[in-house]
Structure 1
Amino acid sequence: MRLLDASDFEAWVGKRVQVTAVPKNASVVLDHIEKNAHPIAIDGFRQPFTLIFSSTLDQNMIDGSYEFDCGIGGPHVIFISQLQQIGNSRWYQAIFN
């Protein structure tokens, strides 16, 4: 099985992503991808990266795994955690080590 890397999500940036959730599905936008610099490249390990998603205040997801699909290269089950609310937006991150 191939590990996902940042390039798998580049087509998602700026797009609305549908999230399968209970009790109702949610919708978020992949705001940007943070590529973490890793000083040593080791074969078989991916470059760490973080996906940063935003949503409106009415989309409130607890930390957990959800199925994300924007119609391009998915769906993928991704674990997200909440970040601090800023203004009228909720923010979430998914860290890939």
Structure 2
Amino acid sequence: MLAERARAYFWEYRYLNYFLVLGTQRVLDWLASLPAPTTVGAFDTFWQPLIPSAEQRRTILSVLESHNLIFFRGELIEVSPKGREYIQWRGPLPNLPPPQAP
């Protein structure tokens, strides 16, 4: 049973590596690096210069939530245990500079 569960996580995490674009993975890493959960407003303030579209920022959060990598507690955004496990499984992202706002 444990081997099947591990295999299922392996394939799900491989899918996430393929599905989640680098920017979305960077957002997940940023959220996980914070010492405490952050608010949606603070998220918007931080990422607005790099992701000017409010709709795109909402989509990123929605994708992360739909895969149970984050969850919302009121206005707070928290990285789920699954999200932290995925980050650990995936390892560090390439050390590329973040995208610049136009």
TM over 0.5: no
More strand by share: 1
TM-score, scaled relative to structure 2: 0.24
TM-score, scaled relative to structure 1: 0.25
More helix by share: 2
